[in-house]
Amino acid sequence: MPNGTIISLSAYFVLMLGIGIYAWRKSTANSAEYLLSGRQLGPAVTALAAGASDMSGWLMLGLPGALYISGLAEAWIAIGLFTGALLNWIIVAPRLRAQTESYGNALTIPEFLGNRFGDQRHILRLTASIVIIVFFALYSASGLVAGGKLFQTAFNADYQTGLWITASVVVAYVVLGGFLAVSLTDFVQGTIMAIALVIVPLLAWQGLAQGTDLAAALTDIDPGMTSLFAGTTTVGILSTAAWGLGYFGQPHIIVRFMAIRSVKDIPLARNICMVWMAVTLCGAVMVGLIGRVYAEQKGLAVADPETIFILLAGDLFAPLAIGFLLAAILAAIMSTISAQLLVTGSSLTEDIYRLFIRRSASEREIVTVGRLSVVAVAAAAMLLAQNPSSSILSLVSNAWAGFGAAFGPVIILALTWPRMTLAGAMAGMITGALVVIGWIALGWSASLYEIIPGFVAAMAAVVIVSVMRPTPLARI
């Protein structure tokens, strides 16, 4: 590996660990600080933390790879995500910030749901925790796979080495600094990602043969590459655009809404986040499309389309800049893994350990258990990430659908519909999760993305059961 690349990556790792140490000294005195940073995040940090924790390694690897293979028809994923994120900021963000504080100052999504519905036996809270733990183990594994692929492709390193490096750095700063460390690193990582996704497609486009018409060149490769509708159907478009439905139920994203300083800061945070998303999603789309033409013209060997960003970086930039661009991929990967590990660790700590094992645990003990939970979840994700041939986009899509269907309808209706009941919440959560798992198991995902039947079934279950058993909590 060239010295310049080593310097850039080393600087990135040192910066991440430095932020972890800073957060450790500033905001880990108690569980409220460790798990939610005392609800004192500013709008800019909240915005980029929400965006970066959402856009994992699939943004730099999976999405460009899909565009590289199939063309513009895969952009429906980006369109759906942008729309879903905007609606999430409008519908969920202000209500969740206000209600999680008013319902017992809830620190986790399961705790909020339990408090919202007066769940005296904690069945709903435990169910929500189990869903989080199961699906986040799979989701975190997708990030580690991306890290392993990065080191394997960019440095000819062993896949296992890539897994260990990625996991070790993430676990270190999450364990040290908790929510504040995760949010501050996400802010820095989101900035790096945006810069990289502007620079790479721009220089790749300039590197094309003089006078190249990008649309014409793509059409020569495949006549359907420049069409949003070629090679797909109405159902196919719905399946890809339906990724946007997942936003309402992603705990690692919506937990950022709980930590913002005040509801008044949400409109500014929303605007910052949506601009950031527009830049990064468009950049990822252009990496895939321009990368396809660039590879054809330059005779660039592309064994795995999901590595086109890495190959462009290696072909276009000097070693010092390559290190920065590879750090951008690591930023996308680590920002999501760190958020997922912390949310899962929070659920294990607050919703299982404190609730069922040690009700009298001190704040110091809870923070310690939270740190150990992060390590345990990371170890489970490492075991699931052992197969280097796993598709990043496939792993993410399954976990995204699971959360979107299990939590999305429940969260939306819990925040907006006073007649919703505890039984309705339970029915919706279980129905959404089971429909997604069953749809995948039956192999029907190839024809229709599992989040659609899961989301619809969960929404119907919440409404039907709530109407049949109209006993909502009195204080809404």
* Domains, the chain, with CATH or none: 3-392 (1.20.1730.10)
406: confidence class by pLDDT, cuts 50, 70, 90:
very high
The per-residue pLDDT for 470 is 66
Q: How many CA atoms lie within 13 A of 409 on its CB side?
A: 31
* Residue bearing the bigger pLDDT, 337 or 68: 68
User: Exposed (0-12), middle (13-18) or buried (19+): which is 287, by Cβ within 10 Å?
Assistant: buried
Residue 18 CB coordination number (10 Å) = 12
Supply the pTM of this predicted model. 0.87
Return all residues near 92 (Cβ < 8 A) that are at least 6 apart. 248, 254, 257, 411, 412, 415
The per-residue pLDDT for 457 is 97
91: confidence class by pLDDT, cuts 50, 70, 90:
very high
pLDDT at 416 over 90: yes
The per-residue pLDDT for 338 is 83
Tokens of 329: 């991929």
The per-residue pLDDT for 26 is 73
State pLDDT tens for residues 427-448: 999 999 999 999 998 988 888 8
Contact in structure between 171 and 374 (CB atoms under 8 Å): yes
- Angle in degrees, CA 342, 347, 348, rounded to 5: 100
Q: In the block, which residue shows the tokens 């440095």?
A: 155
State pLDDT tens for residues 298-349: 888 888 888 888 889 888 888 888 888 888 887 778 878 888 888 888 888 8
190, amino acid identity: G
The SS3 assignment for 167 reads: helix
pLDDT at 131 over 80: yes
Between the alpha carbon of residue 46 and those of residues 84, 188, 404, the distances in Å are 17, 12, 21
Tokens of 312: 């462009």
pLDDT at 232 over 90: no
By C-alpha distance, which of 82, 64, 44 is closest to 392? 64
The per-residue pLDDT for 307 is 82
State pLDDT tens for residues 71-86: 898 899 899 999 999 9
State pLDDT tens for residues 39-48: 778 899 899 8
DSSP letters, 228-295, are SSTT--HHHHHHHHGGGGGGGG-HHHHHHHHHBS-GGGHHHHHHHHHHHHHHHHHHHHHHHHHHHHHH
The per-residue pLDDT for 18 is 87
The per-residue pLDDT for 85 is 93
The per-residue pLDDT for 393 is 56
96: confidence class by pLDDT, cuts 50, 70, 90:
very high
pLDDT at 36 over 80: no
Q: How far apart are CA 83 and CA 87, in angstroms?
A: 6
